Structure 1
Amino acid sequence: MPSPETLERFIARVEENAHAEAVEEFYAENSSMRENLGEPRVGRALHVANERKVLARARSVQSQCVRPVFVNGDHVVVRWIFRFEWLDGTVTRMEELAWQRWEGERIAEEQFFYDPAQRVPRMP
């Protein structure tokens, strides 16, 4: 179970848009991550590479945790709103729930739940 301080540090890193760094700092080496019901990606290094790939396509990102954060033992649910401004000038606004299973102070498993229609970039 994450300590309240660890959870707050994790949220702060994401809100600072240090997404890849947050993965390096807070995810277990063999953690799994999946989008909705897609196949899980396994391994922290793969998660970091994926974050960097997405961020390389963005001119800017805004990340906001919508509170409250729900904690029940090793399970945490965070509601996020992200706004991506892409290099081509389009914008994507996504709202999602992230369900996490922590092992101590590290995220071992995470699944994102969101409407895939949000992923379509739009002109501002």
Structure 2
Amino acid sequence: MPSRETVDAFVAQVVSGDHVGAIRDWYHDDAWMQENQAEPRSGRETLMAGEAKTLARMQSVETELLAPPVIDGNRVVIRWRFTFKPKEGQGFTMEELAWQTWRDDKIATETFFYDPKQMGR
């Protein structure tokens, strides 16, 4: 079960813009992520590469925490807002909930819930 201090340190790293570093530092080697119940992506190296690829398409990404994380045992829920400014095309703002399962003070699984219409598609 993660402590409030551990979750706050993770959140601070993400809000600072160090998204890839947050995956490196806070996810298990065998962690997986999934978007809106899509097929999960597995393995910390895969997750870092995917995040780096997304960020490479962006001029900037602003990350905001919209509410204090909810911690219930090994489950954590975080409400985020991301403002994306792509190198090409129109920017957009996206709000999501991240449903995480933690193991030994690191994230083991994460599912993101959001409305894809926010991405302008």
Aligned length: 121
Give ranges in structure 1 of 5+ residues lacking alignment: none
Q: After the TM superposition, which of the residue ranges 3-12 and 20-29 deviates more from structure 2?
A: 3-12
The secondary structure found in structure 2 opposite 1:68 is coil
- After superposition, the C-alpha distances for 1:19-73 in whole angstroms (9 at most, x for unaligned) are 0000000000000100001000010000000010000000011001111211100
User: RMSD over aligned Cα, in angstroms?
Assistant: 1.0
Answering whether residue 77 of structure 2 is matched by residue 77 of structure 1, we say yes
Q: Give how far 1:120 is off.
A: 2.2
The secondary structure found in structure 2 opposite 1:93 is strand
Point out 4+ residue stretches in structure 1 off by more than 4 angstroms.
Answer: none
Q: Which residue of 2 aligns with 1:67?
A: 67
TM norm structure 1: 0.94
TM norm structure 2: 0.96
Q: Give how far 1:118 is off.
A: 1.1
Answering whether residue 38 of structure 2 is matched by residue 38 of structure 1, we say yes
State the identity as a percent.
44
